[in-house]
């Protein structure tokens, strides 16, 4: 697992991997296979699953979309997106939280309609899940399905934002 911010640091890593791959391809001396296969493995959807995680807010969605475009230019296709810490699937009564939930809608719709074929919507939680079992509990077993290659898609449109 590689967890990075959608900023220039990730792009520098990818650029370095691409430059390194070109140089290794030219020299092809006695390098370990794992080193020679770094970039091809990042590009191989059967070996690497890229999940873009964002909040349903303007800056995080725009930065994540830019990251996705950069990944695609490097020949790496994201597997799906995760909209994290969302109030959209929650029943909230507080007017401030209701307004926040409503404000998430356009950004979640943008992710679903413009950027991703597979989207998981993770609700805001008082305590974040720690470890695989806790994540399984939050996702209701869908993490196991995703691990086995099953597609998970949570259309944002099914959540009431009123």
CB atoms within 10 A of CB 145: 13
- Per residue in 106-158, pLDDT (tens digit) is 999 999 999 999 999 989 999 888 888 887 887 775 544 444 444 344 444 33
Give Cβ neighbours of residue 64 (< 8 Å, ≥ 6 apart).
6, 52, 53, 54, 81, 111, 115
Question: In angstroms, rounded to a whole number, what is the distance separating the alpha carbons of residues 158 and 124?
Answer: 17
- Predicted local distance difference test score (pLDDT) of residue 75: 84
CATH of 45-158 among 3.60.15.10, 3.40.50.300, 2.40.50.140, 3.20.20.70? 3.40.50.300
Q: Where are the alpha helices (DSSP H) in 1-131?
A: 8-27, 33-36, 38-43, 58-73, 95-110
Q: What are phi and psi of 64, to 5 degrees?
A: -65, -40
Q: What is the pLDDT of residue 73?
A: 84
Q: What is the pLDDT of residue 61?
A: 96
28-54: per-residue pLDDT in tens? Answer: 566 677 766 777 888 888 888 889 999
pLDDT tens, position by position, 55-93: 999 999 999 999 899 888 888 889 999 999 999 999 999
User: What local confidence, expressed as pLDDT, does residue 38 receive?
Assistant: 74
What's the half-sphere exposure (Cβ side, CA atoms, 13 Å) at 53?
10
Q: Dihedral sign, CA of 11, 12, 18, 19? A: positive
What percentage of residues in the chain have a pLDDT greater than 70?
65
pLDDT at residue 39, as a whole number: 75
- Average pLDDT value over all residues in the chain: 77
User: What ranges do the domains of the chain cover?
Assistant: 45-158
Q: How many CA atoms lie within 13 A of 68 on its CB side?
A: 21
Encode pLDDT of 55-64 as tens digits: 999 999 999 9
Quickly count: other Cβ atoms within 10 Å of residue 83's Cβ.
Answer: 29
| Rounded-to-integer distance, Cα 148 and Cα 136, Å | 13
pLDDT (0 to 100) of residue 110: 96
Considering only CA atoms, which of 137, 34, 23, 128 is closest in space to residue 85?
A: 128
Half-sphere exposure of 22 (CA within 13 A, CB side): 6
């Amino acid at each position: 697992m590689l967890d990075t911010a959608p900023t220039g640091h990730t792009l520098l890593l990818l650029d370095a991997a691409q430059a390194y791959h070109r140089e290794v391809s030219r020299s092809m001396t006695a390098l370990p296979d794992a080193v020679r296969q770094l970039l091809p493995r990042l590009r191989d959807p059967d070996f690497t699953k890229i999940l873009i995680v964002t909040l349903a807010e303007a800056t995080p969605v725009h930065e994540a979309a830019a990251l996705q475009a950069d990944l695609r230019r490097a020949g790496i296709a994201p597997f799906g997106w995760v909209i994290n810490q969302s109030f959209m699937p929650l029943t909230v009564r507080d007017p401030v939280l209701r307004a926040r939930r409503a404000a998430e809608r356009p950004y979640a719709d943008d992710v679903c309609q413009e950027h991703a074929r597979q989207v998981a919507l993770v609700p805001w939680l008082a305590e974040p899940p720690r470890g695989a079992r806790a994540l399984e509990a939050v996702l209701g077993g869908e993490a196991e399905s995703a691990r086995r290659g099953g597609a998970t898609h949570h259309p944002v449109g099914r959540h009431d934002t009123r």
